[in-house]
Amino acid sequence: MKNLIAYTVVSSPEHNLAGHPENPRRFQHFSRLADSPLSEKLLRIEPQVAPMPVVTAIHPQSYVSALEQAASQGPGFLDHGDTYVTTASYQAALEAAGGAIEVVQAVIEGQARSGFALIRPPGHHTSATRPSGFCLLNNIAIAARYVQSLGYKRVMIFDFDVHHGNGTQDLFEKDPSILYISTHQYGIYPGTGSIHETGSGEGSGSVVNIPLPARAGDQAFNAITDQLIEPIAKRFQPDILLISAGFDAHWNDPLASLQLSTTGYNQLGTSLFLMAEELCEGKIVYFLEGGYDPDDLWDNVLAILYSLAKESLPVDRLGSAPFPEESIDHIVETLQILHGIKPL
Ligand SMILES: [Zn+2]
């Protein structure tokens, strides 16, 4: 029972815009989970709509009402960019946040040891009052505040989506009880996440941004987990580890070029799981963010699930990245000094 992995699927079929990369086709292969050799270790949780007080702990009621109103008039765009709504989007956003809550609940109550909320629309670009980057409600932020309300006071969020989670950072950058660490490809959307954004006020030092060059690849993530994330996590001593899981950092993703492989995601997942076992009784919950190739997405989700199941990844269908990896030694060293892991 304890080694089960809880998961929920919120595919939001009617939150859809033809030609947009964040569309329901992303979820067309989710049955691969139940068909996989891991199926006996997976516990599917039926999502509920997120309770309003849990949502408004992050987003003011005025924002939630404005989102409902905008969606009711849909289809349309919210941000002069590419964050769309349809008439189904308000309900979809509440269900995605609800799926996030249900999975953390299952882990906290001991029904499962770890979890993965497979939900859309994603969340990490949305601040308290501003939707952006295909995101409507900030699912992982809602989950973080929810677990704090249940007594898990020190929450570590690691965001490995290829894009910086500017919304999550904005929500928590003044809050010392939440450590936010992000790896992202620098210079692409949304343009934030420099190494010098380290939190502010009482939260000074509780934001760790790790901007990476294109083609950083698997070795970069091995170095980052060993030399940055692990020592910073040990110093922080989290009660639970929450992960913004974006698979748009895969080398074959159409939106970016950070060049992780499926094997690299599996290794990253293993490192994070070992960290969670050492620091917080293995409590680790993933929340889907990006990942825009409908086939590759499920290879990479499974790569994480294999790490949570402590089983070997059977085959990396896509193989290694096709280009040489960029060195990030100087970035790691600069961040070690900036965050006090290594003296000047
Ligand atoms: Zn992304």
DSSP string, 265-316: HHHHHHHHHHHHHHHHTT-EEEEE-----TTHHHHHHHHHHHHHHT------
Nearest to 99 by CA among 200, 8, 184: 8
Residue 160: per-residue pLDDT: 98
Q: Is the dihedral of CA 128, 55, 90, 292 positive or negative?
A: positive
Token output for 237: 């001593």
H or E element at residue 84: strand 84-85
Residue 2: per-residue pLDDT: 62
- Give the pairing of strands 84-85 and 76-77: antiparallel
| Ligand 1 center–CA 71 separation, angstroms | 23
Q: Give the rounded distance of the alpha carbon of 201 from its chain centre.
A: 25
| Ligand 1 center–CA 25 separation, angstroms | 16
In a structure prediction context, what are the per-residue pLDDT tens digits for the chain, which is 344 residues long?
A: 468 999 999 999 999 999 999 999 999 999 999 999 999 999 999 989 999 999 999 999 999 999 999 999 988 899 777 999 999 999 999 999 999 999 999 999 999 999 999 999 999 999 999 999 999 999 999 999 999 999 999 999 999 999 999 999 999 999 999 999 999 999 999 999 999 999 999 999 999 999 999 999 999 999 999 999 999 999 999 999 999 999 999 999 988 899 999 999 999 999 999 999 999 999 999 999 999 999 999 999 999 999 999 999 998 899 999 888 999 999 999 999 999 998 76
Strand partners, 157: 180, 242
| Ligand 1 center–CA 272 separation, angstroms | 20
Q: For residues 287 and 184, give the distance between their C-alpha atoms in angstroms, rounded to a whole number.
A: 16
Residue 174: per-residue pLDDT: 98
| Ligand 1 center–CA 2 separation, angstroms | 31
| Ligand 1 center–CA 334 separation, angstroms | 25
The radius of gyration of the chain from alpha carbons, rounded to an integer in Å, stands at 18
Residue 141: per-residue pLDDT: 98
| Ligand 1 center–CA 159 separation, angstroms | 10
**Considering 15, 59, 124, 125, which one is annotated as catalytic?**
125
Q: For residues 327 and 230, give the distance between their C-alpha atoms in angstroms, rounded to a whole number.
A: 20
Q: For residues 61 and 296, give the distance between their C-alpha atoms in angstroms, rounded to a whole number.
A: 37
Domains and CATH numbers, the chain: 5-338 (3.40.800.20)
Strand partners, 212: 185
Residue bearing tokens 């292969």? 29
Q: For residues 323 and 259, give the distance between their C-alpha atoms in angstroms, rounded to a whole number.
A: 8
- Pair 221, 264: CB distance under 8 Å: yes
Residue 315: per-residue pLDDT: 84
Nearest to 95 by CA among 60, 51, 133: 51
Token output for 15: 């939150």
Residue 235: per-residue pLDDT: 97
Residue bearing tokens 């809880």? 6
Give me the residues near ligand 1 (ion), CB cutoff below 5 Å: 161, 163, 246, 248, 290
Q: For residues 122 and 140, give the distance between their C-alpha atoms in angstroms, rounded to a whole number.
A: 9
Residue 44 vs residues 31, 48, 100, 304: alpha-carbon distances, Å: 12, 13, 13, 16
Residue 49 carries which DSSP code? P
Catalytic residue list contains 339:
no
* Residue 46: other Cβ atoms inside 10 A: 9
* Full-model pTM: 0.97
Q: Is the bond preceding residue 314 a cis peptide, omega within 30 degrees?
A: no
